[in-house]
Structure 1
Amino acid sequence: MEYNGRIVAIGIVGLFNLLRYFYYHQYLELPFRANFFILTTIFLAIAYWCGKQFDNVKYYSEKDYLTDTYNRRTVEQSFQKITQMYRRENLKLGVIMMDLNRFKEINDTYGHHKGDKLLIHLAVIIKKFVKKNDIVARWGGDEFLILVPDCKNNFERVYIQGLQKVLANERFDEFPSVGASVGFAIYPDDGQNFQELIQIADGAMYREKKFRSRTSMS
């Protein structure tokens, strides 16, 4: 969580009290009293509390409460901002869709509490793998989306296969048979529109899911 609201609020109140000090005690030459510090401390405490409420509201408006990843609205806004810049700079953006295999079965068998634990665990794995500027979001249910800025020509070989390897090697606590399927699309190679790229990545993800399902039954 960022501290921008608290920093701004304390800065404004601090500046106000500094001006108050110079106006009353320097310009008007009124006698200085100790209650100036008491009032200043109270004002700063109120400013900190108000700034914290702003930071909390901003944080939860951008984040998924369960997994601490970004939500759909935030990732869509990020896509628009990134692609506006990338059109001018001729750069590429990777869009990755992924979800857990057999997640509904786990919810039905063990309950939603266990399913939530599994989602939190998956989010931790993803956030450990991604790079600093990558954007991880919970797209809905057990689906996650990753935006990978400035992806290179070896994106599939290095990034996607690396992510698949990490997921394949992970043992999801008491659910060792659970895996994850991954699909991707690249802006602007596969499309200019966000929804179009999502559909391409989502389709690739479900083709992999079906392939895994067939191979596990054979």
Structure 2
Amino acid sequence: MMGYRGRIVAVGIVIMFNILRYFYYHQYMGVKFEPSFFILTAIFLGFALLGGKQYDLAKFYAERDTLTNTYNRRVVEKMFNKRISNCESKKQKLAVILIDLNNFKEINDEFGHKTGDELLRFTADLLKKNAKKDDVIIRWGGDEFVHIIPNSEPGFEFDYIHTLNNELTHNEIPSMGASIGIAVFPDEGEDFDTLIQQADKAMYEWKSNFSQDKVPAGQNK
């Protein structure tokens, strides 16, 4: 969701400026008050809202992956640190999940990049659909996603992996599921770099057991 900070700050500046303008010209200098004061104030507020909205839009899209509308890598540290601080204070677990779509290149080659893009969007939508309010979904790059889950429940891993792969493989978009690696704070690390490395290691162990390397025939749009 797009924030409002730019508009709030811009409107606040305009209001403060007009308060100062009123007191300086009409109270201190004794200039006769005219109704045009409100017209100018309204014009200033209009420009402030427009400029503030452009800032909010630029900030929103700078943090988003345009294809999947998930967050991009630029914000991962900020998002992680905010949530890890909350989990530490409440002595909660936090999971970092690395998701890599299986045989994505082969799907692109056989069905085309349009189908590959549809699969990426579909995967992002699945992750967002199953996410809780404070979860963070990030397109990590290419066909990889990161899912940060604060206050993760013990033993959630099996249900998460089963549900995601089941939904990925039972739809009309060609998919061979995903390789998934999970690392949990604080058991396997206390910072993002350590946790993502542990998740990456677990994910590649999963991939080494993924022996099927051909997209099933007959799966097409």
Instruction: With the length of structure 1 as denominator, give the TM-score of the two structures.
Output: 0.83
C-alpha separation between the residues in 2 aligned to 1:163 and 1:24?
67
C-alpha separation between the residues in 2 aligned to 1:167 and 1:132?
22
Q: Residue 38 of structure 2 aligns with which residue?
A: 37
**95-104 vs 58-67, which moves further:** 58-67
C-alpha separation between the residues in 2 aligned to 1:54 and 1:172?
39
- Pairs within 5 Å for 1:206-217: 206-214=204-212
1:194 alignment partner AA: F
The question of whether the paired residues in 1 share the 8 Å contact of 2:101 and 2:143 is answered with yes
Q: Residue 156 of structure 1 aligns with which residue?
A: 157
The verdict on how the C-alpha distance between 1:88 and 1:174 changes in structure 2, with shifts beyond 3 A counting, is closer
Structure 1 gap segments, 5+ residues each: none
The verdict on how the C-alpha distance between 1:138 and 1:31 changes in structure 2, with shifts beyond 3 A counting, is same
Shift of 1:108: 1.9
Instruction: With the length of structure 2 as denominator, give the TM-score of the two structures.
Output: 0.82
Q: Residue 68 of structure 1 aligns with which residue?
A: 69
The question of whether the paired residues in 1 share the 8 Å contact of 2:106 and 2:214 is answered with no
Shift of 1:25: 3.3
> SS of the residue aligned with 1:213?
coil
Shift of 1:215: 10
Q: How many residues align?
A: 213
- Percent of residue pairs identical: 49
**92-101 vs 24-33, which moves further:** 24-33
The question of whether the paired residues in 1 share the 8 Å contact of 2:115 and 2:173 is answered with no
C-alpha separation between the residues in 2 aligned to 1:94 and 1:39?
53
RMSD across aligned positions (CA): 2.6
C-alpha separation between the residues in 2 aligned to 1:216 and 1:139?
24
**5-14 vs 205-214, which moves further:** 205-214
C-alpha separation between the residues in 2 aligned to 1:115 and 1:215?
16
The question of whether the paired residues in 2 share the 8 Å contact of 1:97 and 1:145 is answered with yes
Q: Residue 166 of structure 2 aligns with which residue?
A: 168
Q: Residue 195 of structure 2 aligns with which residue?
A: 197
